[in-house]
Structure 1
């Protein structure tokens, strides 16, 4: 079974479930969705395949709710699903509650922390759409960042969180939600750049070791295949410089996003909010009573007329 993305249908087993929904008669498609949700909830220890199908089933229910995911996304069932019964919404929310309450194993299975966070954000977003008024629990303790995860560590330390999706505004459709998603992508990109730098560094060290070995093998009469022109190529490997430049660029980009988040997430000072409130109050009172300046202001002469003395 393959997984190629973080969406609810971005895996082989979820795609097979979607195909099963398509094969059912239109009036019976809700029954396939309901059966998968009910079976997942009833299982004491469901496997990851059934969990993936339950998330996909919940996504189909959420797609018919306000603010739900688009049913035209890649790999979704292509055939139209008639309006689903209302009782499927709390059932789907209960299934996602079970996913989120025991999500540690699923998160640990993702090779990249950023991909796991992206998948978890998608599940949480579905849960909010299905039942925005009922709180839920995320049973996930993030591991400490790896040495290569410099972008992730940078966000954690600067903004005081243990996971990027714990930032206020994460998962929302507003400016802060968009900014958190951008911060997560930028952190992943910086982590990748750090890995590239380390790979280039390891390659450079191997080149230096090979250069040292060649020097040791130079005979006393000086006759060897060693050429003085090899020194510049070895001391300044062509892969390390570009890798360092990319890392510096991505570090600056992430720092800019963090600065912007800090600016947008901090409420304005009290005196600024008080002044804004006073301005709104004055404006509303002026509109209600009529503007006194409008009554005393001289009337302008209509275009094309001559003012008499």
Structure 2
């Protein structure tokens, strides 16, 4: 689909960047952004790869939006989840990476079918760089941090077990117990459900934005590449996968509740320990001495099968 508008997130590569912001943990975002900008700055002289340039612009826009003058940065089609406060040392790195993009911006502007649209894109990028390099003003009181959205898998665990994550269920049971193993399976399955839920919402939002452009008279949004047709197929496929994953998670939750209710959530003793208890030479067995407590070997030389 390429680029469909002049904002920093109005292209395919930038949509992937938005999904990275949504999927990474808060602690993983700064290292990823540092690497992205370092790679862009370290590239050989000449125009950057188009996808890399678009990823740099999108990431820099998110950082600029957290600057004092960044309230009007266009983040439409950007991250769906609230982005945590990012380190201020990312701002000069983002500006340096944008310099690599702007060094060959004229060639990028020429690629637009309508040059005026390309110039609008360039103006947006220049605005982002100005915000990143603006002198720091007096610090403002930190605004309350918005909560990240809760997706379907995590919501099920909250509703049924009162926990934020299946990891919280692990601590309730010994490691060798069936309930602990089921909690581990629920953790993995809940992440799968959350991922599909996030992808479904993002795809539906992109379709809604395309339809909104058509409603505003921008009919070129659906005139090429069968955007809506392919989006419909993607939504149906994701919906089917989401339904199956949700059903599997429900079944695991039912099995976990049964294990806890039936009292099978206790640790299972290792077989080797039980065997040592039964065959200790000092056991008092009527009619046998200390060396007689072990049963005689099988005359056929039979050996026990491998442990499972």
TM-score (norm 2): 0.41
TM-score of the pair, normalised by structure 1: 0.41
